[in-house]
Amino acid sequence: MKSRKLWAALAAAGIIGGSGFMAYQLSYAGLPAQHVELDHKAVPLFNNPPAAAVQTAAVGGPNFSTIVKEFGPTVVHINVRGETTTTSADMTQVPPQLRNSPFFQFFQQFQNQQPREVPTEGLGSGFIISSDGLILTNAHVVKGAKSVTVTLTDRRTYKAKVLGYDTKTDIAVVKIPAKNLPTVRVGNPANLDVGDWVLAIGSPYGFYNTVTAGIVSAKSRSLPDDDMVPFIQTDVAVNPGNSGGPLFNTKGEVVGINSQIFTQTGAFQGLSFAIPINVAEAVAKQIIQSGRVEHAKLGIAVQTVTQQLANSFGLQTPRGALVANVSKDSPAAKAGLKAGDIILSVNGEPVNDSADLPMMIGLMHPGQAVKLGVWSNHRESTVTATLGSFGSNMVLADAGPGVNGHGLGLQVRPLKPTEEQQADVHHGLLVENVSGPAQEAGVQSGDILLAVDGQPVDSVQQVRSILKSAGKTVALLIQRGNNRIFVPVEMG
Q: Is residue 98 part of a domain?
A: no
| Closest to 174 measured CA to CA, from 130, 215, 209 | 130
320 labeled part of a ligand binding site: no
Q: Which of 288, 320, 339 is the last residue of a domain?
A: 288
Residues 282, 194 share a domain: yes
Residues 317, 242 share a domain: no
Residues 284, 303 share a domain: no
Residues 331, 252 share a domain: no
pTM of the model: 0.65
| 365 among known catalytic residues | no
User: In sequence order, what are the residues at sequence separation of 6 or more whose Cβ sits closer than 8 angstroms to the Cβ of residue 169?
Assistant: 139, 228, 229, 275, 279, 280, 283, 293, 393
243 labeled part of a ligand binding site: yes
202: domain CATH number is: 2.40.10.10
Range of the domain at 435: 408-488
295 labeled part of a ligand binding site: no
77 labeled part of a ligand binding site: no
Q: Is residue 356 part of a domain?
A: yes
pLDDT tens digits for 270-308?
Answer: 999 999 999 999 999 989 987 778 889 899 988 889 998
* CB 175, CB 229: distance < 8 Å: no
Q: Is residue 124 part of a domain?
A: no
Give the pLDDT band of residue 318 (cuts 50, 70, 90): very high
Round to whole Å and give the CA distance between 453 and 477.
8
304: domain CATH number is: 2.30.42.10
Among the listed residues 140, 166, 341, 345, the single catalytic one is 140
CA–CA–CA angle 233, 216, 228 (5° rounding): 30
Among the listed residues 125, 130, 217, 243, the single catalytic one is 243
- Distances from the Cα of 5 to the Cα of 160, 221, 239, 244, angstroms: 32, 16, 15, 20
377 labeled part of a ligand binding site: no
Q: Is residue 10 part of a domain?
A: no
pLDDT tens digits for 175-228?
Answer: 999 999 999 999 999 999 999 999 999 999 999 999 999 999 999 888 877 778
In the chain, the number of structural domains is 3
| 345 among known catalytic residues | no
Q: Is residue 484 part of a domain?
A: yes
Name the burial class of residue 8, with classes exposed (0-12), middle (13-18) and buried (19+) by CB atoms within 10 angstroms of its CB.
buried
Q: Which of 226, 257, 288 is the last residue of a domain?
A: 288
Give the pLDDT band of residue 39 (cuts 50, 70, 90): very low
| 140 among known catalytic residues | yes
Residues 428, 377 share a domain: no
